[in-house]
Amino acid sequence: MIHFDNNGLIPVEGFTVMGVNAKEGGNSIGFFGTGLKIAIASILRLRGAVTIHVGGDVYKFLIKMTEIRGKPFEIVCAELNGDKLLEFGYTTELGKNWEPWMVMREFESNCRDEGGTSGKGMGKRGENKTSIWITCPVVEAAYDNLSDYFLCAEPIYKHKEFEIYRGASNHFFYRGIRVGLFGKTMPFTFNFTNARLQCRLTEDRQMASVWTHNTLACGLPEITDAKIIHELFPNHHMNESMVYDLDFDQDYNFPSDAFWERILENHRVNMLSVPTSIFELMLKHGKISHDQARNILPFDTIEEKMLVKARQFLSDMGYDPAKYPIKKAHLGTEIHGLADGIYKTILISPNAFSYGTKYICSTVFEEYLHLYYGFADCSRAMQNYLFERLATTMEKHYYKSPL
């Protein structure tokens, strides 16, 4: 059993009439006036039990079967003080897509909105108290993992729009309550605090990530803590964090000195660690010029000779070697070639030349195909094309007849 205890008496309409939100105080998160009713209906649908003690009155919830147009429905009712049966205007179909953790979150959220307390076992009854008792194994299991749905720790950084908590997460929170899911994991846990986001919450306390993405795109560059900036923007290109999918090129961005220091260092060492939208932000703020954007390096004499053969290789394969410029740039230690789709350029790492001319030819050929056909790395389309080219080459130069 779980209990949720609050001082004061909940209006009976709060759990009987849809659209009634009569919470005291101006800092509550819920405001639709439907959540408690949905949570009660969900508990009954899960075959759990709900009892609400309002002062000296006891409301024990149950269901009454009825039939509408030949279809059975379970109407939510309550037995008042073990005697009078009250029938309400909603059924257990209400909130039928709610998961058990969402039910638990609703009761706990309401309890926190009212400044109450919760716990395992029976709650405390009193003349001026409201105590909700719930028995439902799957909801109780969610309560046992309360920290997955409510933030309990202290933030490590506070921005005017959000708070940052230690620990990677693909969930995000609004005013301490889990309300949504990022497409990818974030290196930290984010709790959004701006009151204007309340109107973006749905009735089941969910929020579309587009609002949080925009908030982070504006807010992350403003962070002044260098250590956090370093963790948000690591100096390597294989970063699968949601951070790299944000559109940082916003007109209302005011990046901090700590942000620019880290980004410029990343660009100097490995430009692939800098998201494309931050490139645009760097240009807009005059931190780099267009010529500096790709950190281009000069070729030495040997490298030039190797590229002559690479261009001839492209030509012999039937491609236009002059279609895309080939330039040398720092691409980090793991990347030897890059198809730069923004500037339509083939970039070659200085490290690639140490592998010999054959390697340069194959690297230039691969990046050419990425730019020309739009093939992705390790894709079936690229694989099919290369096998087809191999078969065609054998057909033309070895068999000298159709296969």
pLDDT tens digit sequence for 32-65: 457 888 899 999 999 999 999 999 999 999 999 9
Q: Is the pLDDT of residue 311 over 90?
A: yes
pLDDT of 28 reads 52
Which among 250, 74, 117, 99 has a CA at the least distance from the CA of 178? 99
Sign for the CA dihedral angle at 336, 275, 185, 339 comes to negative
Q: Is the pLDDT of residue 327 over 60?
A: yes
Q: Is the pLDDT of residue 351 over 70?
A: yes
Q: Is the pLDDT of residue 23 over 70?
A: no
183-194 per-position pLDDT tens digit: 888 999 999 988
What domains are defined for the chain? 2-145 (no CATH), 157-284 (no CATH), 296-398 (3.30.2010.10)
Give the phi and the psi of residue 361 in degrees, each rounded to 5. Answer: -60, -45
Which among 251, 254, 272 has a CA at the least distance from the CA of 347? 272
70-91 per-position pLDDT tens digit: 899 999 999 999 888 888 888 9
pLDDT of 32 reads 47
Give the CB-side neighbour count of residue 202, counting CA atoms within 13 A.
12
The rounded distance, in Å, linking the Cα atoms of 198 and 192 is: 10
CB atoms within 10 A of CB 10: 22
Name the β-bridge partners of 326. Answer: 346
pLDDT class of 19 with cuts at 50, 70, 90: low
The rounded distance, in Å, linking the Cα atoms of 60 and 53 is: 9
Question: Which residue type sits at 272?
Answer: L
The rounded distance, in Å, linking the Cα atoms of 58 and 60 is: 6
Tell me the average pLDDT of the chain: 86
DSSP conformational letter for 198: G
Q: Mean pLDDT, to the nearest integer, of 272-279?
A: 81
Q: Give per-residue burial for 309-320: e unless 16+ CB within 10 Å, then b.
A: ebbebbeeeebe
Which among 96, 166, 133 has a CA at the least distance from the CA of 3? 133
